[in-house]
Amino acid sequence: METNTTLDADVIVIGFGKGGKTAAHALADAGKQVVLIERSENMYGGTCPNVGCVPTKMLVHYSGEKRLEDDAQEFFARSIAGVRELTTAFRAGNLAAMNGHDTAMVLTGTARFADPHTVLVGDGADAVTVTAPTILINTGSEPVVPSIPGLAQSTRLASSTELIQGDRLPRRLVVIGGGYLGLEFAAIYRHFGAEVTVLESSERLLPREDDDVAQAVAGILAGDGIRLVTGATVLEVRDGEHASTVAYLVDGETVEIEAGALLPATGRRPVTAGLDLEAAGVEVTERGGIRVDEHLRTSQPHIFALGDVNGGEQFTYISLDDARVVLDQLLGTGSRSTTDRVAVAHTLFITPPLATVGLTEHRARTEGRRIRVARENVADIVAMPRAYTVEETRGLMKFIIDADTDLILGAALLSIDAQELINTVALAMRFGITASQLRDQIYTHPSSTEAFNEVIDATVA
């Protein structure tokens, strides 16, 4: 017999991602009855702590620790076990924290809309119907497999999740796509000892960065032994007994290489399939994200969409900021919006990391701005002995400065500690601290930040 439970809540949150859980905690703290629905018991806390940022950055760390004498396979398996231990603990912590609220409950099951105020969870006897006046959608994104003949059927096709959950280090990894995810995986697996080839369709790596920055990144990756092929069109994948053959076209010639694992890293699409958004009257854009306004309200004003699913930038800290915007609507003054965001930084976690914020030199010049460019190679920065003390002197630091106002327009830091440094630059940009003020600040020693004492004066153009 079918027993169908019905729950009436104040707020339903669909998806246990960063934005959803942050909002759920705050709403429960404010006394709201919150039902948070997550489809997988392996995903409490969402993508970031389970299969995204946390495990990959731990693998960046582990792979950097590998010594030449370590057995690559054994070292990799041990690293994956370490990652598993951490993600298991984080997952449990996420669930416990949510269950720690008197007014919040977690339902495990796949959610779909029945009507604009009703969500169904699961099927059959265990199905639960939840109603609420306010609903938050935070269902994240999923990888896209490009339509390359033979790729989807290949037994060696591996998503980023499958790669980091498998115990076996592939001897040869082919990464299709040289974006953030592709390059991070390429560097991790190369450092663990795999032969890695990156096939990128653009004529050069990181087409959105300046030439000098992209070239420096390419030099570091190639120096680590990663084969970077730009201007490559992947034609087909053929599975063989011991490896797959990947055929690609470059400079008018067809080249074939073998792969033990194939990672498509050509983008992720918002997860909306199966949500029955039509039943709720929630619209999606042509690009597949849920259509939202600057307050993250969907086409149904009582339904909000946060994080990757709304088609914005796919970063955990954007999902977190989405939660701030939604919470301001639900509990605050309603003034906060996504248009408030300035100087949002990004980090590519290779070694050393590339962290960027604001305008590139190319973009600033294209916009016709009068700029001063300051740049120095890390190895030449006298004020930054830290690079030498930790034996990582590769990279460069570059600032784009408004020649009239001395305001910082952008920065690209390819350097040890860049993932931390960039937040100081972003803060300066956000609060109108000038380049000279950033230069003349007292920084601890020996730190990486003290490079700013020098680099900002190193005018090259």
Residues at the interface with ligand FAD (CB under 6 A): 14-19, 37-40, 43, 46-48, 52-53, 56-57, 110-111, 138-140, 160, 181, 271, 274-275, 307-309, 314-317, 319, 349
HSE at residue 63, side-chain half, CA atoms within 13 A, is: 24
**Phi, psi dihedrals of residue 79, rounded to the nearest 5°:** -65, -45
DSSP string, 346-388: EEE-SSS-EEEEE--HHHHHHTT--EEEEEEEGGG-TT-THHH
| Min CB(141)–ligand FAD separation in Å | 6
| Min CB(367)–ligand FAD separation in Å | 27
Beta strands in 301-353 (DSSP E): 303-305, 346-348
| Min CB(158)–ligand FAD separation in Å | 12
DSSP string, 69-114: TS-HHHHHHHHHHHHHHHHHHHHHHHHHHHHTSTTEEEEES-EEEE
| Min CB(112)–ligand FAD separation in Å | 6
d(CA 306, CA 308): 7
From the list 23, 22, 14, the residue with the least C-alpha distance to 330 is 23
Nearer to ligand FAD, 28 or 135 (CB): 135
CA–CA–CA angle 131, 136, 139 (5° rounding): 115
**Residue 242 a catalytic site member:** no
Nearer to ligand FAD, 191 or 375 (CB): 191
Nearer to ligand FAD, 66 or 268 (CB): 268
d(CA 229, CA 286): 31
Reported as type and span, the H/E element at residue 235 is strand 233-239
List of residues 6+ apart from 1 with CB closer than 8 A: 125
From the list 100, 134, 95, 101, the residue with the least C-alpha distance to 28 is 101
| Min CB(440)–ligand FAD separation in Å | 31
Nearer to ligand FAD, 20 or 260 (CB): 20
Nearer to ligand FAD, 54 or 148 (CB): 54
Catalytic (active-site) positions: 445
